[in-house]
Amino acid sequence: MAKAQGGMVMLALLAAASAVQAVEISNGAFAAVYVRDCRSWAAKAAGSTSADMCEASGDFSGTLVQQNWSNVLGGLSAGTASTNPLAVNGSLVSSSTVSVADGLTIKQAAFTGTPYARVSSQSFALQSYSWNGTGSAARSVTGSLDFTEYSPTSFDAQSNQPSGLVQGFVSVFSLATPSFNVNPISASQGDFEQFAKIRGDYRSEASQVVQTVSASPYTFNVSFTMQAGRTYFVESWLSLYGRFGGWVDATHTYKVNFDDTDGLTAAAALDAPVVVSSVPEPGSLVMLSVGLLLLAGLRRSARS
């Protein structure tokens, strides 16, 4: 009987999760910092201060010791910072902040102060623009990333890779509507464009991969032709890695803009943007509390 009740509880919780209403967005901002201890349990037990996991061994998992992230669906900004000592180097703290109020502005940093930690800062930024059909239809999206980095030689000797790594992409896509639906749970880690791609009116316009950037500033320019009646979405993903004592500081500002905004209007934020974060929102806490109460009731029934 208890097993049957347990199955019913699980089904109820799954049904509650699937009943989360979709959010219709024209913009969004996601910021995150992830911290990993790249020592195996054996290395920790031995008191080792050398990494034997993550890039050092080809096993990239390590132990996730902290994940701070905030995803604001239909909002114009997001930000987070790490509080873990492994993601701090002196007064330098790993962080990520995103704003889409005036173009896309991203400020990120990934710092490690130990030879066995891996820190990544991540961001997704999305903003949409309607065009009134006047002015030039040929447009470009330009970007410039200014950063500094430090790579200790110990990391190079282990894996032949720099411990400060920058990568990401910029994408321009269009829809026949000014917004599209996202599932708050599925979209909890950003990547807004994945929800637009499944639509019949989705069209990829231009993109630029930011891969293994080794020089600052890094600049790009992608061009496309606009069509009346369509909305143009600009999305950026930026990922910085500080590994094994290395770091990347891109708090100097990464800016992505249209070269010509004549006739373009940026979408405003929702009146009440939906926030999904590593700190549970009140609705999530209520669902968790209900689940715990149901499980407690099952335990009492099983004991009786």
pLDDT bracket for residue 214 (50, 70, 90): low
Of the listed ranges 114-118, 119-123, 213-217, 275-279, the least confidently predicted one is 213-217
Instruction: Give which of 265, 201, 277, 198 is closest to 26, Cα–Cα.
Output: 265
The pLDDT assigned to 89 comes to 85
Residue 72 lies in a domain: yes
Residue 12 lies in a domain: no
Whether the pLDDT of residue 151 is over 80: the answer is no
The pLDDT assigned to 19 comes to 53
> d(Cα 18, Cα 5) in Å, to the nearest integer?
20
Residue 302 lies in a domain: no
> d(Cα 241, Cα 125) in Å, to the nearest integer?
18
Whether the pLDDT of residue 31 is over 70: the answer is yes
Whether the pLDDT of residue 43 is over 70: the answer is yes
Q: 127: domain range?
A: 22-281
Residue 7 lies in a domain: no
Residue 182 lies in a domain: yes
The pLDDT assigned to 291 comes to 39
Mean pLDDT score of the chain: 83
Task: Quote the percentage of the chain above a pLDDT of 90.
Answer: 56
pLDDT bracket for residue 166 (50, 70, 90): confident
Determine the average pLDDT of the residues in 116-124: 94
Residue 5 lies in a domain: no
Determine the average pLDDT of the residues in 22-30: 96
Whether the pLDDT of residue 109 is over 90: the answer is yes
The pLDDT assigned to 268 comes to 97
Whether the pLDDT of residue 283 is over 50: the answer is no
The number of domains in the chain is 1
pLDDT bracket for residue 295 (50, 70, 90): very low
The pLDDT assigned to 299 comes to 43
Q: Which of 137-151, 156-170, 257-271 has the highest mean pLDDT?
A: 257-271
Residue 16 lies in a domain: no
Residue 122 lies in a domain: yes
